[in-house]
Amino acid sequence: MARPHVFQALFRPQAPRPLLVNETRGIVLARSIETAFDSRARRTGLLGRDTFEAGAVLAIAPSSAVHTFGMQFAIDVLFIDRCGRVIKRALGLKPGRIAATLRAFAVLEFAAGAPEVAWTAVGDQLMLIDR
């Protein structure tokens, strides 16, 4: 049996699409959650896109590193542990860069410049909540 993690709500059958919330600060980080939980989706990520909509997040798990080689735009990145605690931030990660932390369980990628992501700090607790 797999160990519990912050994304388990996404696997419930017929579940409503949850919001990604920074519980520590009481703010919504994303209203739309895309997932990259298999090998192919993790390799592709946001490659091939011209933009990524504000209010959306790409959740990549398991993952402890991302790159922006071949990307057309900058992204904001939060690295989280299995429980959803932020352990590293990389804001405004430009194309052609790498960001990593070995302690991460997952990576959350956002369009660069969202104030809600900028307000999120290392140590904040993130969670999924039903709408």
pLDDT tens, residue by residue, 60-102: 999 999 999 988 899 999 999 999 999 999 999 999 999 999 9
For the chain, give the mean pLDDT.
90
Q: What SS3 class is residue 100?
A: strand
In this predicted model, which residue has the larger pLDDT, 118 or 46?
A: 118
CATH number of 8-129: 2.60.120.1140
Kindly report, residue by residue over 9-64, the tens digit of the pLDDT.
887 776 678 999 999 999 999 999 988 888 887 777 777 777 788 999 999 999 99
Amino acid 15: pLDDT:
65
Query: Are 84 and 123 within 8 A, CB to CB?
Result: no
Nearest to 109 by CA among 45, 69, 71, 58: 58
3-state helix, strand and coil shares in percent for the chain, rounded to the nearest 5: 10, 40, 50
pTM of the predicted structure, to 2 decimals: 0.91
Domain range annotation of the chain: 8-129
